[in-house]
Amino acid sequence: MMQFFEWKLPNDGKFWVKLKEEAQHLHDIGVTSIWIPPAYKADEQQDEGYATYDLFDLGEFNQKNTVRTKYGTKQELIDAITELYKYQISVYLDAVMNHKAGGEYTEKFMAKEVDPNDRLKDVSDAYQIEAWTGYNFPGRNNQYSDFKWHWYHFSGTDWNEANKKKAVYRILGDGKYWSKGVDGENGNYDYLMCNDIDHDHPEVIKELNRWGRWVSNELNLDGFRLDAIKHIEEQFIANFLKDVRSDRGDNFYAVGEYWKGDFDTLEKYIKLTEGKLDLFDVPLHYKMYTASHKGRHFDLTSFPEETLVTKFPVNAVTFVDNHDSQRGSSLESQVDSWFKPLAYGLILLMEKGYPCVFYGDYYGIAGQQSPHRIILDILLDARQKYAFGKQNLYFDHPNTVGFTREGDDIRENSGVAVLLSNGDDGDKEMYVGDHHKGEVWHEITGSITDEITIGDDGKALFKIHGGKLAVWVKK
Ligand code: CA
């Protein structure tokens, strides 16, 4: 998978056109699916799409002073997707369903302020506030949906227009409260930002389910990347997927962003959703982040422990960085440059996990060329040619670890030996399979020029330079 966007793209409306132009190249480098950014109207044109205004406006109507989104028009998006399908590349849309921004008019209703650090604790009496919770979407004029959003479709907001006060407001109503099936951080992490959608409200559930079916048909989507699910009622997510799949088929894909480095929480979520939803392997990302900053003081043998890819490989989307972790973003935890080749070597060549390459690492950030593209091209090529067959792990030394893939019968010359070092130059004896005996292997990242011959026992002593990645294949 490739995450085809980053946070600092120009607001020129030319991104869908670029996506179309890149379709063949993506196919050539082995990308079989892409995650595209929120493609609907946000509160302002330059927004990345996460400050969502109208889910039904895919860059088609004059709303918020613009027809197009930051990325382009609906027609340009459809053209890009049509082109991607020529190359059998699946498309997953980023679905932002936690909140809405950019309300058109204010409404008055009762609310209580809560403690931002403990949302279960009220810090004011109930009183009337005035907030931007009214949505008519006049520019769309009821096309695709005539649903109008009101204050009672939300459970929280953060701005009282009447006294210009910013706070976390819990909206009061008959039986209304924060959703229970959300993360427990800050007491109850239902509220994240803007107008928090009430996923316990029957009208909301119906409307969002309808949108899910509509947009996946309208754009012929293959799946969703579900944004901010730790802030959304888990039962809603489970039923939403059921509903969309009843229309699009059981293979309709979904990966959720549950941003938590804590493995136990993710495990609970996977069990609760019965494995019908993949999750990003955030624990693995944080290990990479920590490893990249600790240098030789990070124990590489700990890599496989308590990660999704080890415990729930079928549900793990492995990644190195994304638009939120990149420098300057909300969840900043960017993996340091020297470690990126090691991190990508791990996720692209190991057997398990659904690896996701970040646009910023391949195409660059803010128009600057990425220094990692060369190594990524090498690794993507290696993934297609060599990374097959049985895997053998050698996570047995704090500063030098490795693994091998023995190759298979279908792909001639397949098989690979991978080493990662965060310390000194080193070597490791690893087994690549009896059938490789006598073969001459070489290293393809350009780090080592020596060649080696696989022994009669199917093993060889593979070399690695300090702080580098080494990828050995048959010459
Ligand atoms: Ca929420």
Predicted confidence (pLDDT) per residue in 75-108, tens digit: 999 999 999 999 999 999 999 999 999 999 999 9
Question: How high is the pLDDT of residue 327?
Answer: 87
pLDDT at 328 over 90: no
Q: At residue 407, does pLDDT exceed 90?
A: yes
Contact 258, 282 (CB under 8 A): yes
Residue 279 has pLDDT above 90, yes or no: yes
Judged against a pLDDT cut of 90, whether residue 378 lies above it is answered with yes
- CA–centroid distance, 18 to ligand 1, in Å, is 33
451 is catalytic: no
Going by pLDDT thresholds of 50, 70 and 90, the confidence category of residue 1 is: very high
Q: Give pLDDT, residue 329.
A: 87
Give the Å distance between the CA of 221 and the centre of ligand 1: 25
What percentage of the chain reaches a pLDDT higher than 90?
Answer: 98
Q: Given this model, what pLDDT does residue 398 score?
A: 97
d(CA 156, ligand 1 centre) in Å? 8
User: How many whole angstroms from 40 Cα to the centroid of ligand 1?
Assistant: 19
Mean pLDDT value across the chain: 97
Task: Find the 362 Cα to ligand 1 centroid distance in Å.
Answer: 32
Share of the chain above pLDDT 70, in %: 100
How many A from CA of 256 to the centre of ligand 1? 14
- Of the listed 57, 227, 361, 439, which one is catalytic? 227
Is 227 marked active-site?
yes
Q: Does residue 42 carry a pLDDT above 90? A: yes
Q: pLDDT per residue over 363-375, tens digit each? A: 999 999 999 999 9
Catalytic residue among 234, 257, 439, 443: 257
Predicted local distance difference test score (pLDDT) of residue 133 = 98
pLDDT at position 331: 87
Does residue 48 register a pLDDT over 90? yes
Lowest pLDDT segment from 178-192, 271-285, 319-333: 319-333
User: What's the CA-to-centroid distance between 420 and ligand 1, angstroms?
Assistant: 40
User: How far does the centroid of ligand 1 lie from the alpha carbon of residue 54, in Å?
Assistant: 17
Q: How far is the CA of 232 from the centre of ligand 1 (A)?
A: 5
Is the pTM higher than 0.85? The answer reads yes
